[in-house]
Chains A and B, each alone.
Chain A
Amino acid sequence: METIQSPESPKLTSKDLVTDQEVRWCPGCGDYSILKQVQTVVPELDIPRENLVFISGIGCSSRFPYYMETFGMHSIHGRATAIASGLKGARPDLSVWIISGDGDSLSIGGNHFIHLLRRNFNVNLLMFNNEIYGLTKGQYSPTSEEGKITKSTPMGSVDHPFNPLALALGAEGSFIARSMDRDPVHLKDMLRRANAHIGTSFVEIYQNCNVFNDGTFEIFTEKSSKKEQTIFVENGKPLVYGQNADKGIKLDGFTPVIVNLSDGHSANDLWIHDEKDLVKAGILSRFFERPAEGSGHLPRPFGVFYENNRSCYEVGLNQQVEEAIAKKGKGNLDALLSGRETWEIK
């Protein structure tokens, strides 16, 4: 989403975005960090507070709007995307942020999720992915790994999970990024990028549910394993990662291969990240193996996978109204009511 400037209002601070409501997430929940980063980044964006709207569905994550001193709506499960679409269509002047969970967006709200991306309303969609249903106390979600043992799947889940970024790309998303609750610097950066993008900005945020799915993302977030298991992509930069930045990814045809930079491979041979390249974004989104024991698998990417500018639904919607007025003149109710053929009875 773009920034909406308002020079005359005094600068917002993070404190201005805190409500009088007690935050009710479990202590240690990753949601706290995300709230903090949002409250830190939003004041930098120079958007008048009254023009900010946070819309959520249902889930732990969806409690979010109650904690943001902006306009907000805590709606119904899975529908925040649909409500935000109507709001943005009706009020393109607003800065609209959707807060959703993995169940909210990809299970019950899957349909609206893909259609939002396709229509490309200029909104930000932050999906807190904890790979579990938190609010309903720990059932597997459409992002949980196969075989997930939960209260609803005591013998392990049978179904295969979504790859949310690949799904978003397939749904014609115009901005696709991944970040994590435990990396505030990166998360803030992704929030700024999401805001700057004109179109639907989808940010998947790995979020730890320390009560029902503790440690799912540990391998990506813990210092000891993070460098080996993740790769932070940046536009125009080679894909380098590893404990000593000693590994890289090279494309062999369409196949990504890991190379060891200490083996005489140079950074010049590596895949250079290009956010505009849809094909490469597709390959990158497929770096999705479950980190197995030992090495040899591709690291999990974080950052902006893809960004592409294309027209936003609300622009077309409102342009047609303007065009119709320019062409036919502002509607005349009397003319409408009488229609083309009338007759008079005296």
Chain B
Amino acid sequence: MEQNNQVIDNVIIKFAGDSGDGMQLTGTQFTNTAALFGNDLSTFPDFPAEIRAPQGTIPGVSGYQLHFGSVSIFTPGDECDVLVAMNAAALKANMRFLKKGGTIIANTDGFDPKNLRLANYADGANPILDGSLEGYRLVTMDVTKMTRSALSESGLGIKEIDRAKNMFVLGFLYWMYNRDMSATEKFLTEKFGKKPDILDANLKVLRSGYNFGETSETAATRYTVNPAPMPAGVYRNIMGNQATAMGLIAASQKCGLDMFLGSYPITPATDILHELAKYKNFGVRTYQAEDEIAAICSAIGASFGGKLAVTTSSGPGIALKTEAMGLALMLELPLVIINVQRGGPSTGLPTKTEQSDLFQAIYGRNGEAPIPVIAARSAADCFDTVFEACRLALEFMTPVIFLSDGYIANGSEPWRFPKADQLKEIKVNFTTENNNDGKYLPYKRDEKLSRPWAIPGTKGLEHRIGGLEKQHETGNISYDPENHEFMVKMRAAKVAKIADFVPNQTLDNGAEKGKLLILGWGSTYGPIKGAVIEARKKGYDVSHAHIRHLFPFPKNLGEMIKNFDQVLIPEMNTGQLLSIVRDKFLVDAIGLNKVKGMPFATGEILNKIEELLK
């Protein structure tokens, strides 16, 4: 039949189904295909909190949102244009994220009485039949039935056949968006190469889905989304946790020290451990400790031994590491502490995102315990930011906290990755000679106020360090009141000095002076960027600066802020950076706060800009 072909500049698809329906795989396959085609994109998976929530229920729904386009894409998108609902629960859980008039692709088999009941629809109600979805474009197909008939002669059991259902949907979407299926075909061939019957089944169902689009009359419109104009270069797709792992390996290579990771599994940080465990041939040693305390302590031991030491966790685990962070700070040993933030407090919302551990990072220790804090703003930015964290730790002999969060950890975006030789070397000089008339002073400081690093095995430099207050230079235990105050100030001065060695804060968008500055940190980057671009198009005088170095701040930040009439700080917490900025710069900054376990929608920020500048 005759089909429409419409060119559009961006589209947001949400794949939703039961956690057993393979929606994450479907989403990532579509993403890869879009990326290879040259679209800009951003993704966000939305996992259920329970691994095996009861099938067919709302807690069991797993989602994957993809935003891709021929224009620059900054976020996975606020509301989706297309919702793929494999069952009734998936529809019910996601209707509120679908744009008015959006498209629903529903698997009719997932709307049988049992599924409707499990999704808590009223008796007799069936949204795909009863007209309640009026105003939306509804495309229905019995995915289960068509998958089964495509594979009726495959000889596979019904369970295995049903497992290929997601390929039908994927094939259909490939048809709908005019996509080449070869990347997915290649992926399937690699994945199931050893199981030819399963491979054939998946390929066959994928093509059936595509052909269904071609022949059926349900969905008459196809869409073309052209490649996006992106800076020239070679790209790959990358998720935040992956980028973090790679940034660590890159730093390890660039400083010439093997990496030691001490970690204890916790969502959403675990994938960094998984990822690093694969790269032992880079000299990476991963150690799954008995708890977070042992994880950080093992890293401290490795750091004492002269390795690039790292520990990864999320809020509850970071809380357990607190005492040892203080030890690392007293020892003045390099250590990278990674917090992939999630909703808190306590166990909170493990699979949801939040930025509520900023206070914990900056203030959360006993005593005067300054530790540098830096945060990544996007999935790909995790690479550069964690690399910077390693540099600071090694060059300043200090623990450094790197903040990421669930949103960018699991989200993905195209990444114009660097060449290894474009990355800066990180200088590490182990001390091998006495530094004071035949004596070794472990706490003698250099121009950065950093101390020497003499590792065990270095002849003649035997020395003891510890958590008790130590005398200036000698490092011997000291209870002298003057010395204690001196050392407290010295440790603070050393961390403050880092500001001399980090880039000045730059503006991401807008003029240097004006009516409104939006100041952000971490994963709010995408939504703020999108909103500021929109607002500027509409003629609003608004600028955007995004802070990587949260403690200490870049030296020019105060000056920058003073050039604006108003400062707005959007955060996924109740106002943590806000209160730090107000405290530090005595500026009447305004907060825009959201603690729903969900990232900001661009629209939410745009509305606030309009409200402030009206």
Contacts and interface: CB of A to CB of B under 8 A. Distances in A.
B260 interface: yes
Contacts of A111: 290-291, 294
| SS of B interface (majority) | mixed
A79 B419 CA distance: 40
A51 B331 CA distance: 19
Contact of A87 (B238, B304, B461): B304
B466 A50 contact: no
Contact of B260 (A51, A86, A346): A86
Interface in A126-160: none
Contacts of B309: 86, 90
Interface stretch (B200-208, B279-287, B391-399, B491-499): B279-287
A79 B324 contact: yes
A66 B282 contact: no
Contact of B302 (A53, A55, A76, A90): A90
B612 interface: no
Nearest to B40: A345
Interface residues of A, number: 61
A276 interface: no
A226 interface: no
A338 B420 CA distance: 10
A65 B466 contact: yes
B279 to A, nearest CB: 6
A320 B276 CA distance: 13
Contacts of B304: 53, 73, 83, 87
A338 to B, nearest CB: 6
B462 interface: yes
Contact of B38 (A66, A89, A91, A345): A345
Interface string A304-346: 0000000000000110110111011111011011110111111
Nearest to A334: B420
A95 to B, nearest CB: 9
Contact of B297 (A50, A75, A345): A75
B233 to A, nearest CB: 6
Given A82-B297, A321-B280, A343 B35 contact: yes
B281 A51 contact: no
Interface residues of B, number: 71
Contacts of A333: 249-250, 253, 282, 420
Contacts of B569: none
Contacts of A91: 302, 305-307, 456-457
B468 interface: yes
B293 A79 contact: yes
B386 to A, nearest CB: 14
B253 A331 contact: yes
Given A91-B305, A91-B456, A321-B281, A70 B462 contact: yes
A112 B281 contact: no
Contacts of B183: 341
Contact of B457 (A50, A69, A320): A50
Contacts of A343: 35-38, 234-236
Interface string B252-272: 010000101010000000000
A11 to B, nearest CB: 15
A83 B462 contact: no
Contact of A320 (B36, B280, B294, B418): B280
B563 to A, nearest CB: 35
Given A86-B260, A345-B233, A73 B457 contact: no
A129 to B, nearest CB: 22
Contact of B301 (A66, A84, A330): A84
23 contacts: A19-B464, A50-B456, A50-B457, A50-B461, A53-B304, A68-B464, A71-B462, A86-B260, A88-B301, A90-B285, A91-B306, A91-B307, A93-B457, A111-B291, A321-B281, A321-B284, A325-B280, A331-B281, A331-B283, A333-B250, A336-B282, A338-B417, A339-B236
Given A72-B465, A82-B289, 9 more contacts: A49-B462, A68-B464, A71-B462, A72-B462, A75-B300, A82-B297, A85-B289, A112-B294, A343-B234
